[in-house]
Structure 1
């Protein structure tokens, strides 16, 4: 690669040189990491790893916001992205610049090729590059989101001080199967002996706790060791507030009162607080209130006027989305724009959302795992849903829908990172600040 290669050039090269987008296994990536010296020293003073089927992105976002409000410098690595690859790596809440990422890719490529070449997937190379850039910065806290599974994911080459599992549900069946207990064992592969494990759902399969017990990891489970409770403080305002009940890093009981609604799942918010406490952060209620008041995550219940964008692409995530939509008062219709990959449970997603949607626009997705609008429309109609239009792409569907929405109507865009990314890019391009669209690249891995 020439010295003048751009970030776009590097990403295109990574896609070409290892065409398998998901290639689970730690041997190859660990060998390159050792060549890079990434396993010789800690990335930062504190490291938290987050795995799970749903809720990882929102948990990482809240961990990051909370830590920064407590005065810590942070690095957060997530995947996939919506518009720009740079979204995957943030320092103190700011996306990494192209130059930093390019330096990381250059270091990965040099280590990959010598003394003998080792093949790396797009995700593996990106993970190693991010870890190298983080190691350069040495922040106070590093937060790493596991891309898929857990045990064999590239992120799992790093030993975390605190490991979190948000949820376990069926997704990525081609890689993880359909047995929830087996999926739970894979997710639990991020746990470490004698280190805290935060279990962020009351519905995790038994295998997760079994693995933790076998390892001797310290289990801290939602609903038992820590919990949240919703309260409405009429004397303050009519908005939802909530209370966190947990314990600090020394095991002492701790309660945080009158926390604002982060507009993200409270299970994840409560888990983030417990993980930070276990990572030796002295939680301050004022700092927590500021963090939860300001945290936002693009593509998760993101409202742009009367358009709601949410990347929900499995039944579990769709159920949460439907519950939040049920809380909203509306005067008009709510139209769903749905585009899903071919290996996702579209029938389950439709069933979860059907009572909240008055009509649908089905859109085609192309690429590695395509699903056509006609196929989606057939699934919708089989469940008694009204299909208003079929479109060749998410953008085409959005353009059709925008011309027909009336006052009081709402549009819900969901089903895939690809669907939301394209419609979000379309919204930005229509606005006055089109320059912020930047480098638009498709999300490579849908987690």
Structure 2
């Protein structure tokens, strides 16, 4: 992993201040600005990726394969683990702090304080990407699809990795309603929309038919991968759809087997020999996949967990009931969305788990490492939990990223 650069405290504070504007779904404000400054169209192919899970895996696979084929890649992804600069990558490397801040200056001058946190970062990303002049642009949707800020860009291929329950207060309470929101990234003149065995809802087919975009169902790869297998399969199918414009040889496609993404199946071996698995699983579907995998390959002695209180926590923890391990719930500094430790521990105990609360992420690790029965530790629950525990771990001496999530 190439460590991202930190932007200045002044810029970090200003951008963080936009969080208070909340989440605003809809394209009107950003689209007007983006069109005025010619940021909605690119001369190179654009791929947009939506889905409940697997977006990061899909984007990373696309990026790695195109870069290996010699193309200049530009990627936007979210959220970030350590630094805001992680959200924009050029040729697999995070944008420099200088380039980020230069784009921020332009974005702030043209936005005139009209945008939310995610809208501003989207505008900033598009400005930076235009300046970079890539061969291919890969955009990861933040929330939903139809009303997501990334959807202001005219894309050539859309990908919907899967449909499952998450963010129901914004996207709807049925799979068809959620699918309908994500299907909003399918637009006229796209070459194709790639779907998977996990995203074949009727509303997606109806939207594709309405705008005359062919649906391409991605066959599941026969080989094992380090990342979400369904998402990797979708990336491969999308690359084939664009072969006429961006030719990729077979040997470059083959690297899909070994592509990795920090925070997804990442194992860090500590100085005392313990292995800590970090996984950004934050909804029932991704947690079910994670539980299935670790039952065979990892079997943790301890689980360090917390999650946003608006998540379906009961169904996030249910797949882990067969494990006999101790749970530690750390208090995480955040914006008020994170669960209170006492109430989460109470819920875990009611469901039959051995759970304890601690005041800080550092305390969670100290407690685990002081145990004589802590050779394997699992950390999951979302970006904020992984971020805080990685910071707490601080000095990483040995790192392997060898777990396969399928």
Query: Structure 1 pair 82/219, CA: closer, same or farther in 2 (3 Å)?
Result: same
Given that 1:36 and 1:107 are in contact with CA atoms closer than 8 Å, whether structure 2 keeps it comes out as: no
For 1:426, which of 392, 397, 401 is the aligned residue?
A: 392
CA distance in 2, matches of 1:212, 1:8: 45
User: 5 Å matches for 1:150-229?
Assistant: 150-195=145-190, 196-222=192-218, 226-229=219-222
- 1:412-444 deviation digits (Å, cap 9, x = unpaired): 0001210000111222x23469xxxxxxxxxxx
Given that 1:49 and 1:164 are in contact with CA atoms closer than 8 Å, whether structure 2 keeps it comes out as: yes
For 2:235, which of 267, 272, 277 is the aligned residue?
A: 272
Count of matched residue pairs: 384
CA distance in 2, matches of 1:74, 1:132: 15
1:88 aligns with 2:87: yes
For 1:364, which of 297, 311, 331 is the aligned residue?
A: 331
Equivalent in the alignment of 2:131? 136
- 1:368-401 deviation digits (Å, cap 9, x = unpaired): 31311111112211221111x2112333322222
Task: State the secondary structure of the residue aligned to 1:297.
Answer: coil
Given that 2:162 and 2:199 are in contact with CA atoms closer than 8 Å, whether structure 1 keeps it comes out as: yes
1:170 Cα shift? 1.3
Task: State the secondary structure of the residue aligned to 1:202.
Answer: coil
- 1:348-373 deviation digits (Å, cap 9, x = unpaired): 11002222452211223442313111
CA distance in 2, matches of 1:228, 1:6: 39
For 1:373, which of 341, 351, 365 is the aligned residue?
A: 341
The runs of 5 or more residues in structure 1 that have no matched partner are 230-241, 243-260, 434-447
CA distance in 1, matches of 2:362, 2:19: 29
- 1:301-353 deviation digits (Å, cap 9, x = unpaired): 110021000010110000111122123165xx521111111101111110022
CA distance in 2, matches of 1:98, 1:405: 43
1:286 aligns with 2:282: no
Equivalent in the alignment of 2:31? 30
TM-score by length of 1: 0.81
User: 5 Å matches for 1:274-353?
Assistant: 274-280=237-243, 281-293=246-258, 295-305=259-269, 306-328=275-297, 333-353=300-320
Given that 2:232 and 2:256 are in contact with CA atoms closer than 8 Å, whether structure 1 keeps it comes out as: no
CA distance in 1, matches of 2:182, 2:373: 44
1:6 Cα shift? 5.1
Equivalent in the alignment of 1:245? none
1:291 Cα shift? 4.7
Deviates more, 1:187-196 or 1:153-162: 187-196
Given that 2:68 and 2:252 are in contact with CA atoms closer than 8 Å, whether structure 1 keeps it comes out as: yes
CA distance in 2, matches of 1:37, 1:369: 36
Task: State the secondary structure of the residue aligned to 2:26.
Answer: coil
Equivalent in the alignment of 1:251? none
1:147 aligns with 2:115: no
CA distance in 2, matches of 1:150, 1:7: 31
1:156 Cα shift? 0.2
- 1:7-45 deviation digits (Å, cap 9, x = unpaired): 432232133256123111100111221333313x41x41
1:398 aligns with 2:365: yes
**Once superposed, what is the RMSD of the aligned Cα atoms?**
2.0
Task: State the secondary structure of the residue aligned to 1:304.
Answer: strand
Task: State the secondary structure of the residue aligned to 2:74.
Answer: strand
Query: Structure 1 pair 108/329, CA: closer, same or farther in 2 (3 Å)?
Result: closer
CA distance in 1, matches of 2:199, 2:309: 27
1:122 aligns with 2:117: yes
CA distance in 2, matches of 1:350, 1:154: 31
TM-score by length of 2: 0.89
- 1:113-172 deviation digits (Å, cap 9, x = unpaired): 3xxxx5101111111111111011111111000000101111000011100011111111
The runs of 5 or more residues in structure 2 that have no matched partner are 1-5, 270-274, 399-406
Task: State the secondary structure of the residue aligned to 2:264.
Answer: coil
Given that 1:339 and 1:394 are in contact with CA atoms closer than 8 Å, whether structure 2 keeps it comes out as: no
